[in-house]
């Protein structure tokens, strides 16, 4: 019994969280589940806590404590609620924490776990983008490991030879290209949230689905790779690979190119990160090579998908720009999903925030979590007012042309 890994799952009700629960249930007793958390879905959180036999469930929204307690009372599972409870629960003893919350909001719990020396299997990419250097420093200090769950970074991790770090020429992140790969600018301008969230290869949460459609997901992943593997931007390349069979590649100076392949099923990278350094069954299908279509690769179109250029620019400008890119994108994606702005305006919001960081905001890069949060908040406020101005202008034009 003592060889079971103690695991906590932050964001257990989401797309990654439920896939991780499948892996844990398929592992036949490899894990003891400690804490499970969610944002506001009490019913699903309680159901997952009971299925996984967790010790404790925490809901981010404080006013939902009583319904959570009521749902769990008969099962002897402790309940807690609120942002602070989430941070404290992340520091409770565990061998591994799966970070599967969406957005910058996941930063504090990840930091709390790393500071306690708890390994973190990380899917929640936004905190890495906005505060990567701080998270990496905390991990180095405590000796905790950050294990990549994002499929591309997990692929790189699987074929990365640390002893030959100096012989790594570059890393190539593959991208499916998302649902709008072959759409025209005019079509994208009118894209609806329903169209933007229908990904051709992967089934994911709404925010990352929109990010895939704008290619902001790949942009965030370029910054994520720079941070996780300590690489300069010129050593990170992106290739469009619509079949999503090769999940990423590492190119060595001797001409060898090592790739990791598999089905488009997040249970594989999740099983790898949760089982590391062992391998676990994932419950997913195996790749059938004879049934595979031809694998194709093409360079991304930076003019059509400006998000990629923003990522390289932000990496060169430093952490403040990375915070701005992420915060503006989170606000803009939400505004698009709420039908307040059009699809292409998401990129205008990010471009505007990067200009503002360069021009108007302090050039000082955040050196603490508090400073990152302060800058994140400033950029959210300025992006909201950018959106209000845009929608106001739009209304004025409509009134004038009537
Ligand atoms: P999702 O929307 O399906 O789930 C998000 C989870 O976070 C839910 O459990 C939700 O309750 C919780 N949550 C939301 N807001 C919260 C808040 N304010 N406080 C606390 N908890 C909150 O998202 P997802 O698709 O599972 O993605 C999770 C993370 O993993 C994202 O950062 C995403 O970029 C990354 N990721 C996802 C996939 C994928 O296939 N879904 C692949 C790679 C990386
Ligand atoms: Mg990915």
Domain regions of the chain by residue span: 5-149, 153-265, 318-401
Say if residues 51 and 22 touch (Cβ distance below 8 Å). Answer: no
Ligand 1 site, residue 11, Cβ cutoff 6 A: yes
| 230/46 Cα distance (integer angstroms) | 39
User: What are the strands of the beta sheet with 236-240, ordered from one edge?
Assistant: 236-240, 168-175, 246-252, 257-261
Q: For residue 57, what are the β-bridge partners?
A: 36, 79
- In our burial notation (b when 16+ CB lie closer than 10 A, e otherwise), range 206-216 reads bbbbbbbbbbb
Say if residues 331 and 384 touch (Cβ distance below 8 Å). Answer: yes
Ligand 1 site, residue 36, Cβ cutoff 6 A: no
**Which residues lie at CB < 5 A from ion ligand 2?**
150-152
Q: For residue 58, what are the β-bridge partners?
A: 37, 80
Say if residues 134 and 369 touch (Cβ distance below 8 Å). Answer: yes
18 CB neighbour count, 10 Å cutoff? 16
Dihedral sign of CA atoms 113, 154, 332, 317 in order: positive
DSSP secondary-structure letter at 14? S
Query: Residue 70 Cα, ligand 2 centroid: separation in angstroms?
Result: 37
Q: Which of 10, 11, 154, 333 to mutate to test the pocket of ligand 1 (most atoms within 8 A of CB)?
A: 11
Closest-approaching ligand to the CA atom of 21: 1
| Mean pLDDT, contiguous 10-residue spans, the chain (402 residues) | 86 98 95 98 98 98 98 97 98 98 98 98 98 98 98 98 98 96 96 92 91 98 98 98 97 98 97 97 93 94 97 96 98 98 98 90 83 97 97 70 56
Nearest CA to ligand 1 atom 36: 123
Task: Determine the pLDDT at residue 18.
Answer: 98
Ligand 1 site, residue 125, Cβ cutoff 6 A: yes
Q: Which of 86, 102, 154 to mutate to test the pocket of ligand 1 (most atoms within 8 A of CB)?
A: 102
> How are beta strands 31-38 and 56-59 bridged, if at all?
parallel
| 89/83 Cα distance (integer angstroms) | 10
| 383/377 Cα distance (integer angstroms) | 10
Task: Determine the pLDDT at residue 363.
Answer: 62
| 47/156 Cα distance (integer angstroms) | 34
Rg of the Cα atoms in the chain:
21
Q: Residue 105 CA: which ligand 1 atom is closest?
A: 18
| 137/266 Cα distance (integer angstroms) | 28
Task: Determine the pLDDT at residue 391.
Answer: 85
Express each pLDDT in 157-214 by its tens digit: 999 999 999 999 999 999 999 999 999 999 999 999 999 999 778 789 999 999 999 9
Task: Determine the pLDDT at residue 397.
Answer: 67
Query: Residue 154 Cα, ligand 2 centroid: separation in angstroms?
Result: 9
CATH architecture of 318-401: Orthogonal Bundle (1.10)
CATH architecture of 5-149: 3-Layer(aba) Sandwich (3.40)
Task: Determine the pLDDT at residue 1.
Answer: 43
144 token code pair = 């905790």
Task: Determine the pLDDT at residue 394.
Answer: 74
Q: Helices 83-90 and 107-115 meet at what angle, rounded to 10?
A: 30
Task: Determine the pLDDT at residue 386.
Answer: 98
Say if residues 15 and 204 touch (Cβ distance below 8 Å). Answer: yes
Closest-approaching ligand to the CA atom of 37: 1
Say if residues 178 and 244 touch (Cβ distance below 8 Å). Answer: no
Residue from 240, 248, 256 nearest 296 by CA: 240
């Amino acid at each position: 019994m003592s060889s079971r890994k103690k695991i906590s799952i932050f964001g257990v009700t989401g797309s990654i969280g439920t896939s991780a629960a499948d892996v844990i249930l398929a592992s036949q007793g490899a894990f003891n589940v400690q804490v499970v958390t969610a944002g506001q879905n009490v019913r699903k959180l309680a159901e997952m806590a009971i299925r996984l036999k967790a010790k404790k469930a925490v809901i981010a929204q404080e006013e939902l404590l009583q319904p959570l307690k009521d749902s769990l009372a008969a099962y002897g599972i402790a309940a807690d609620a609120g942002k602070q409870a989430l941070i404290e629960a992340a520091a409770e003893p565990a061998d591994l924490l799966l970070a599967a919350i969406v957005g910058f909001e996941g930063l504090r719990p990840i930091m709390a776990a790393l500071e306690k020396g708890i390994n973190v299997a990380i899917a929640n990419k936004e905190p890495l983008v906005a505060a990567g250097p701080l998270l990496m420093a905390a991990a180095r200090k405590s000796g905790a490991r950050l294990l990549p769950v994002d499929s591309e970074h997990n692929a790189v991790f699987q074929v990365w030879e640390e002893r030959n770090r100096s012989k790594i020429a570059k890393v190539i992140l593959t991208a499916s290209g998302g649902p709008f790969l072959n759409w025209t600018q005019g079509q994208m301008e009118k894209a609806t949230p329903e169209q933007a969230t229908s990904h051709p290869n992967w089934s994911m949460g709404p925010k990352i689905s929109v990010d895939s459609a704008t290619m902001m997901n790949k942009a965030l992943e370029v910054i994520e790779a720079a941070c996780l593997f300590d690489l300069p931007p010129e050593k990170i390349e992106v290739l469009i690979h619509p079949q999503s069979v090769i999940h990423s590649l590492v190119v060595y100076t001797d001409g060898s190119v090592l790739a990791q392949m598999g089905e488009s099923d997040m249970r594989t990278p999740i099983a790898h990160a949760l089982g590391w350094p062992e391998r676990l069954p994932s419950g997913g299908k195996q790749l059938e090579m004879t049934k595979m279509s031809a694998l194709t690769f093409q360079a991304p179109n930076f003019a059509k998908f400006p998000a990629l250029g923003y990522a390289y620019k932000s990496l060169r400008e430093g952490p403040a720009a990375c915070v701005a890119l992420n915060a503006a994108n989170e606000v803009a994606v939400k505004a698009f999903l709420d039908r307040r702005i059009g699809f292409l305006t998401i990129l205008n919001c990010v471009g505007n925030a990067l200009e503002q960081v360069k021009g108007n905001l302090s050039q000082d890069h955040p050196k603490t979590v508090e400073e990152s949060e302060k800058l994140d908040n400033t950029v959210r406020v300025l992006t909201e007012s950018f959106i209000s101005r845009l929608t106001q202008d739009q209304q004025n034009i409509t009134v004038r042309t009537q």
